[in-house]
Amino acid sequence: MNAPGVTGGSFGDGGADHPSAARVYDVLLGGSANFEVDRRLADRMLAAEPQAARYARANRAFLRRAVGVLLDDGIDQFVDLGSGLPTVGNVHEIVHAANPDGRVVYVDVDPVAVGYSRYLLAGVDGAAVVQADIRDVGSILEAAETRRLIDLSRPVGVLAVAVLHFVDDDPAGILGRFRMATVPGSYLVVSHLTTPAQMSREAVGVVRRYRESTGSPLTFRTRDQVVDLFAGWELLSPGVVPVDQWSPEPEDLEESADLGPVPIWAGVGLRGSV
Ligand SMILES: C[S@@+](CC[C@H](N)C(=O)[O-])C[C@H]1O[C@@H](n2cnc3c(N)ncnc32)[C@H](O)[C@@H]1O
């Protein structure tokens, strides 16, 4: 990896001596913005759970489909929480293909992901990145990039895709604060790692090793707990379902054929007038 703003050596939890959630996910998606330490952990994950890369691709495909649904409903501004490394099918690319005037604010806590995002977004109108912990809702909403790009008096798409399982304390409280900041007609998109009961023993072992290596808290949640995250939002059909089963397109179905559901819950909610 050769991300500008990354100078080599140790970057603490976000550096080249520890794997990071953003970069291991990038390896699974076939990206190149990762270090040897990330590739080693991804290899161990794939050895224990050969479908891990399919799960990552299915999550990314859900993100693409959900953003498409929001665009179809006229949403033209997005806040992408836990956006990760810019990789295959970036949100701003999907948005700008449909609406060149669309706005996207990416938010991530990982300094390497943020540095790389900044580099890739240089010169891109209508998209910016904020380095913040998603638990710090105020600093995200007050950030100069958010104030410049996002008009909170109009509907916005809040994306919390594959990030809330990294938050152990009160994810509903975080989403509630974002809900309070948005107007009716806004959307919430969530995907979330499921519970060990829904996973193979090997997959559970991999997740635990991942937690130890990356230092990220990792909290499994049941389907009911993920449904509860949508308090105050009206769930769109088909509700909270495995990520590959949320309004799949033909090519998504082909990839999933006979391989079993993906152990990640997904749903999209609309903010009604209450
Ligand atoms: C698995 S990636 C998901 C990337 C993208 N949302 C997607 O689904 O394709 C999870 C991202 O969440 C970020 N993350 C984890 N905890 C976070 C926190 N508390 N605040 C902000 N970002 C966080 C990680 O750095 C990582 O980039």
Average pLDDT over residues 10-18: 52
Share of the chain above pLDDT 90, in %: 64
State whether the beta carbon of 268 lies less than 6 angstroms from ligand 1: no
42, pLDDT greater than 50? yes
- Tell whether ligand 1 has an atom less than 6 A from the beta carbon of residue 182: no
pLDDT over 90 at 9, yes or no: no
- The size of the chain, in residues, is 274
- pLDDT score at 4: 38
Ordered domains of the chain (ranges, CATH): 54-271 (3.40.50.150)
Lowest mean pLDDT among 3-7, 19-23, 48-52, 144-148: 3-7
If you average pLDDT over every residue of the chain, what do you get? 88
Between CA 152 and CA 22 the distance in angstroms is 28
pLDDT of residue 257: 64
pLDDT for residue 255: 66
The predicted pLDDT at position 254 comes to 67
For position 179, what pLDDT does the model report? Answer: 97
Q: Tell the burial category of 13 from Cβ atoms under 10 Å away from its Cβ (0-12, 13-18, 19+).
A: middle
- Among protein residues, the one with the nearest Cα to ligand 1's atom 20 is 133
Looking at residue 256, its pLDDT comes to 65
The interaxial angle of helices 21-28 and 36-48, nearest 10 deg, is 60
For residue 252, the CA-to-ligand 1 centroid distance in Å is: 23
What is the arithmetic mean of pLDDT over 29-34?
A: 88
Among residues 155, 158, 132, 133, which one has the least CA distance to residue 229?
Answer: 158
Cα 139 versus chain centre, distance: 19
Any idea which of 4-13, 78-87, 126-135, 243-252 has the lowest mean pLDDT?
4-13
For ligand 1, atom 12, the nearest C-alpha belongs to 82
Atom of ligand 1 nearest to the CA of 191: 8
Give the residue whose CA is nearest to atom 13 of ligand 1.
82
Phi, psi of 56 (to 5 degrees): -65, -45
- What is the model's pLDDT at position 50? 85
Report the nearest-CA residue for atom 24 of ligand 1: 22
pLDDT, residue 85, reads 87
CA–CA distance, 145 with 160 (Å, rounded to integer) = 18
| Ligand 1 close to Cβ of residue 95 (< 6 A) | no
Hunting for tokens 């769930």 — which residue is that? Answer: 235
Q: Please, which pLDDT band fits residue 112 given cuts at 50, 70 and 90?
A: confident
C-beta 161 within 6 A of ligand 1: yes
Task: Give 11's DSSP letter.
Answer: B
Residue 65's closest CA among 261, 262, 250? Answer: 250
The amino acid present at 127, given as its one-letter code, is A
Q: pLDDT tens digits, residue range 211-229?
A: 777 777 788 899 999 999 9
Name the phi and psi angles at 166, rounded to 5: -90, 0
List the one residue out of 221, 189, 228 whose CA is nearest residue 207: 221
Q: Mean pLDDT check: name the lowest of 29-38, 94-103, 255-264.
A: 255-264
Question: Could you give the CA distance from residue 30 to residue 23 in angstroms, rounded to a whole number?
Answer: 10
Query: Separation of 84 CA from ligand 1 center, angstroms?
Result: 5
Average pLDDT over residues 182-208: 84
Q: How far apart are CA 217 and CA 134, in angstroms?
A: 14
pLDDT given at position 95: 97
Q: What is the mean pLDDT of residues 37-47?
A: 90
Q: Enumerate the β-bridge partners of residue 13.
A: 11
The DSSP symbol for 13 reads B
pLDDT in tens, 17-27: 788 888 899 99
Identify whether the C-beta of residue 45 lies closer than 8 Å to the C-beta of residue 206: yes
pLDDT in tens, 48-89: 888 889 999 999 999 999 999 999 999 999 999 999 987 768
Across the chain, which distance is largest between two alpha carbons, in Å?
Answer: 51
Q: How far apart are CA 25 and CA 88, in angstroms?
A: 11
- Cα 186 versus chain centre, distance: 18
